């Protein structure tokens, strides 16, 4: 099956929050390369908010990052949800859909992202579900390497598990450099070496974010603070290895005014500029 091409996201982007709607409508699109939304938050929204969202999808390239696909769940895949998602993506001309390599439901929603056991059986289970989602959506999707705090099984390493799922599912990678940094501290591994060993030729786009320092040996992935220098360094390293790809600044809590977020977008663009000769398009 041939899948839709990428949506044209480029440069540095922001997650769309309702508090930013008015400011972004007034903002020049040149300042923000693309916007990202959780489709579940907008699929059934109408009225004034729905019209504002439509106005933005007509001005900016959009990507979507899901919250409830629950790709690793033991429960059956919710194909009705996937079909509704396809209608939403088609309506707004959005080609890019990503999700977390985790799960959040069984008989009901757990309201958190749970780690998948790192086993060969889980690789096969997840990959089969991803292939089915891609067939329904008629889109190649991307899975995000996630932060986690307690591994459930150790038949495979985290790195081996991610690489096996991406290869078996024949999907793309949403590379989250903050999650690599957080997991590197929490699980005692070299974040740079981990990054280098990922399938970087499959990177669709990148997430960069801040986190919370709970203790010297514990970081919590909150998306509620400014990005720190070691995470910027990992982003720089990623560009050196896979070229400049669209990069999203995640800020979900303690969201500052748009002007402050735009300054962090400038930081992303300044790192991208250092690698400008290696710019390439996102995967089709």
Summarised one tens digit per residue, pLDDT across range 209-225 is: 998 677 788 777 787 78
- Mean pLDDT across the stretch 187-205? 97
For the whole model, what pTM was predicted?
A: 0.91
Give the least confident one: 163-167, 196-200, 221-225.
221-225
Q: What pLDDT band is residue 2 in, cutting at 50, 70 and 90?
A: very low
Question: Is residue 74 situated within a structural domain?
Answer: yes
Neighbouring residues of 3: CB distance < 8 A, sequence distance ≥ 6: 134, 138, 139, 140, 284
- Mean pLDDT across the stretch 128-137? 98
Q: Could you give the dihedral angle defined by the CA atoms of residues 137, 143, 149 and 152, in that order, rounded to the nearest 10 degrees?
A: 70
Question: Is residue 2 situated within a structural domain?
Answer: no
- Does residue 69 surpass a pLDDT of 80? yes
Question: Is residue 260 situated within a structural domain?
Answer: yes
CB atoms within 10 A of CB 216: 7
pLDDT value at residue 213: 72
Question: Is residue 40 situated within a structural domain?
Answer: yes
Quick one: which of 190, 187, 195, 193 has its CA closest to 217?
187
Question: Is residue 5 situated within a structural domain?
Answer: no
pLDDT, the chain, mean: 89
pLDDT in tens, 140-152: 999 999 998 887 7
pLDDT value at residue 152: 75
Residue 20 maps to which CATH number?
3.20.20.150
- Mean pLDDT across the stretch 30-52? 93
| Domain range for 139 | 12-278
pLDDT value at residue 284: 42
Question: Is residue 247 situated within a structural domain?
Answer: yes
- Mean pLDDT across the stretch 44-58? 92
Question: Is residue 174 situated within a structural domain?
Answer: yes
pLDDT value at residue 116: 87
For residue 256, what are the CA distances in angstroms to 12, 30, 37, 166? Answer: 17, 20, 18, 35
Question: Is residue 254 situated within a structural domain?
Answer: yes
- Give me the number of domains the chain comprises: 1
């Amino acid at each position: 099956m041939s899948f839709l091409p990428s949506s044209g996201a480029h440069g540095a982007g922001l997650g769309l929050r309702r508090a930013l709607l008015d400011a972004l409508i007034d903002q020049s699109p040149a300042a923000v390369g693309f916007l990202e939304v959780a489709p579940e938050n907008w699929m059934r929204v109408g009225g004034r908010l729905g019209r504002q969202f439509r106005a933005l999808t007509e001005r900016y390239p959009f990507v979507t990052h899901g919250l409830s696909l629950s790709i690793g769940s033991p429960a059956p895949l919710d194909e009705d949800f996937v079909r509704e998602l396809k209608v939403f993506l088609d309506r707004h001309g959005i080609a890019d859909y990503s999700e977390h390599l985790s799960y959040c439901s069984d008989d009901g929603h757990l309201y958190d992202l749970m780690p998948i056991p790192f086993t060969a059986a889980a690789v096969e289970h997840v990959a089969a579900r991803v292939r089915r989602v891609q067939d329904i959506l008629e889109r190649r999707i991307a899975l995000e390497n996630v932060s986690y705090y307690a591994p459930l099984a150790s038949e495979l390493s985290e790195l081996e598990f991610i690489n096996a799922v991406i290869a078996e599912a024949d999907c793309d990678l949403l590379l989250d450099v903050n999650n690599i940094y957080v997991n590197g501290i929490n699980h005692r591994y070299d974040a740079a070496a981990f990054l280098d060993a990922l399938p970087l030729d499959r990177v669709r786009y990148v997430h960069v974010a801040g986190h919370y320092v709970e203790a010297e040996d514990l970081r919590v992935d909150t998306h509620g603070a400014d990005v720190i220098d070691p995470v910027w360094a990992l982003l720089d390293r990623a560009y050196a290895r896979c070229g400049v790809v669209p990069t999203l600044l995640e800020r979900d809590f303690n969201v500052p005014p748009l002007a402050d977020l735009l300054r962090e977008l400038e930081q992303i663009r300044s790192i991208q500029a250092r690698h400008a000769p290696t710019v390439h398009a996102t995967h089709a």
